[in-house]
């Protein structure tokens, strides 16, 4: 067997091979193929706003001319500035069940990060924790929802066999939001108190003013998630791009804002599961993929609760319960009756307790790994 060699992606043909790899590896599995055009745009250093505050390199692992793995190495300077650290990340991890390929891919990422002064490597994450993150360690039989990764079982074994250590686990909770009886009575009591005693009102976001709505979302996000592991604030360019993404999956019923005296104090962005549509599109718009996309509201009967946050100074009001209750009220009118909430950090006790009170069940777990980066053992200390 030919030995593994690592090659940085430099040309369009190499980027195509980087993008194409999971389509071959995961054919016939629960994995849902994204649109190849979207992946090319997302990886573009000119078009992805991540590169306004970060840098990255993409690597292929080859045996002979066969691509057997891929990885990215990236440094988010905004993240490091916010946390006052020198972390590097890796992501876009895909490979065959090949220990040598795993070792060589990680070595390439580590070396690239060391050269940029990083002292720790964390991942996988596709640039940041706001995108697909972690290695799937439970829930292999389930189809991933929008912006959820899927991996076969050997990924966890290869990561841990290569010396990566657990940094944190991420949970995805399954919810039946079609039946109010599933909720504990305390949720309705808290909702009533939020509305009557604190004057909380729930409204739906406007597509016409979605960019302004996303500024309000960022205000909540930057306040409510600031102490969370892996947090990085959104930049204006990030929000511009994120708003364009949200337009593609926007559903007025599921994009919610909580206000008190005209001040936005909480948000919940719940996404119809576009992966049900992408599965039918098979990674392509043509010849018939566009038809499935235009009919996405008829095809999707699941939702993913992607963000639900409350300004810290209003967490005592019960507004989170009001947003939970609104989800059940919305499901009574909409075709989506089931869904998942997540990912949720294993350390986020408040959210995990709230989802348990909604009779949720953890159905998927993802693991983010880390490794301290000392001097390159092959080079010695400087």
From residue 182, alpha-carbon distances to 93, 178, 280, 324 in Å are 38, 9, 32, 12
d(CA 287, CA 285): 6
Q: Which DSSP string do the residues of 203-262 spell out, in sequence order?
A: EE--STTHHHHHHHHHHHHHHHSTTSTT--PPPHHHHHHHHHHHHHH--GGGEEEEEETT
User: Residue 38: is its pLDDT beyond 80?
Assistant: yes
**Given pLDDT bands bounded at 50, 70 and 90, which one contains residue 273?**
confident
Highest mean pLDDT of the ranges 158-162, 204-208, 232-236, 314-318: 158-162
Contact in structure between 364 and 346 (CB atoms under 8 Å):
no
pLDDT score of 305: 82
What is the pLDDT confidence band of residue 26, given thresholds at 50, 70 and 90?
very high
Tell me the Cα Rg of the chain: 21
CATH numbers and ranges of domains, the chain: 4-170+368-372 (3.40.630.30), 175-366 (3.40.630.30)
Q: Which residue, chain included where needed, has tokens 């209750």? A: 325
- Report residue 358's pLDDT band, with 50, 70 and 90 as the boundaries: confident
Q: Which residues contact 354 (CB under 8 A, 6 or more apart)?
A: 320, 321, 324
- Among 58-62, 69-73, 289-293, 378-382, name the one with the lowest average pLDDT: 378-382
Tokens found for residue 142: 């389930």
| pLDDT at position 293 | 53
Beta bridge partners of 302: 338
Mean pLDDT of the chain: 88
Q: Give the pLDDT confidence of 178-235 residue by residue, as tens digits.
A: 766 767 788 889 999 999 999 999 999 999 999 999 999 888 988 888 888 888 888 8
Residue written as tokens 């100074």?
313
Pure H helices in 43-184 = 77-83, 99-114, 154-161
The confidence score (pLDDT) of residue 362 equals 96
**Could you tell me if 361 and 173 are in contact, meaning their C-beta atoms sit under 8 angstroms apart?**
yes
Which residue's structure tokens are 């718009």? 285
What does pTM read for this prediction?
A: 0.87
**Least confident stretch, 34-43, 59-68, 297-306:** 297-306
Q: Which helix (H) or strand (E) holds 184?
A: none
């Amino acid at each position: 067997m030919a030995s593994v060699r690592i090659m940085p992606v430099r040309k369009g043909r190499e980027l195509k091979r980087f993008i194409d790899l999971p389509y071959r590896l995961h054919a016939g599995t629960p994995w849902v193929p994204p649109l190849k055009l979207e992946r090319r745009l997302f990886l573009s250093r000119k078009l992805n706003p991540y590169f306004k505050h970060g840098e990255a390199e993409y690597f292929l692992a080859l045996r002979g001319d066969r691509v057997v793995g891929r990885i990215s190495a990236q440094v988010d300077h905004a993240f490091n500035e916010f946390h006052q650290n020198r972390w590097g990340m890796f992501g876009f991890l895909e490979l065959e069940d090949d220990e040598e390929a795993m070792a060589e891919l990680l070595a390439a990422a580590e070396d690239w990060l060391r050269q940029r002064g990083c002292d720790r490597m964390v991942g996988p994450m596709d640039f940041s924790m706001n995108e697909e993150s972690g290695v799937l360690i439970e829930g292999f039989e389930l189809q991933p929802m929008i912006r959820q990764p899927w991996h076969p079982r050997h990924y966890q074994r290869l990561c841990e066999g290569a010396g990566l250590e657990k940094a944190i686990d991420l949970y995805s909770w399954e919810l039946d939001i079609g039946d109010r009886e599933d909720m504990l009575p305390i949720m309705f009591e808290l909702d009533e108190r939020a509305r009557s005693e604190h004057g909380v009102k729930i409204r739906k976001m406007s597509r016409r003013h979605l960019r302004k709505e996303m500024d309000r979302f960022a205000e909540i996000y930057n306040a409510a998630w600031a102490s969370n592991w892996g947090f990085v604030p959104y930049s204006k360019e990030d929000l511009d791009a994120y708003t364009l993404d949200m337009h593609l999956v926007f559903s007025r019923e599921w994009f919610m804002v909580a206000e008190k005296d005209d001040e936005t104090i909480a948000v919940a962005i719940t996404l119809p599961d576009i992966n049900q549509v992408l599965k039918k599109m098979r990674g392509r718009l043509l010849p018939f993929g566009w038809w499935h996309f235009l009919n996405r509201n008829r095809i999707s009967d699941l939702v993913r609760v992607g963000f639900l946050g409350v300004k810290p100074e209003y967490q005592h009001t019960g507004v989170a319960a009001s947003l939970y209750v609104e989800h059940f009220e919305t499901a009574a009118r909409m075709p989506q009756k089931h869904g998942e909430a997540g990912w949720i950090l294993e350390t986020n006790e408040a959210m995990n307790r709230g989802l348990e009170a909604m009779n949720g069940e953890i159905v998927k777990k993802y693991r983010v790994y880390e490794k301290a980066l000392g001097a390159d053992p092959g080079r010695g200390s400087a």
